[in-house]
Amino acid sequence: MNDYLEVLKKYATFSGRARRREYWMYFLFNLIAIIVLASSTAVLGRIGFMLYVLYALGTIIPGLAVVVRRLQDQGKPWTWIFIGLVPFIGGIWLLVLMCTEGTSGENKYGSDPKVSLNSADVLDA
């Protein structure tokens, strides 16, 4: 849940890097919220539909931002997001990129989020 909230806090932050865990936790909680809100339209009618639409529109930008940061974790520029538009293979390729581990150490988009996370844990101990 913290990773989901972290993505929302970085609402329109397209710079930096995102770990796989951050992306997939955001994806999971977003999927659950969309399913719950979509099913609430059967109970609440128009109000449920409006909640669904507002949530969906409100999470487009953080969703794009976390995908861009995930690509940058692998050293790829933001323009790689358009690979998903290639018919048939593009979505699969983007899925593979979201599952692939990022580059170790620092790259041109920032420091390794795993290393900075682990060093913060050591400092707290």
Q: Please count the other Cβ atoms lying within 10 Å of the Cβ belonging to residue 64.
A: 14
What region does 94 belong to: left with phi over 0, alpha with psi -120 to 50, or beta? alpha
pTM listed for this prediction: 0.82
What region does 107 belong to: left with phi over 0, alpha with psi -120 to 50, or beta? beta
Quick: pLDDT tens for 77-112.
999 999 999 998 999 999 999 999 888 888 888 888
**pLDDT confidence tier of residue 124, bands split at 50, 70 and 90:** very low
**Helix, strand, coil percentages, rounded to 5, for the chain:** 75, 0, 25
Q: How far apart are CA 16 and CA 32, in angstroms?
A: 26
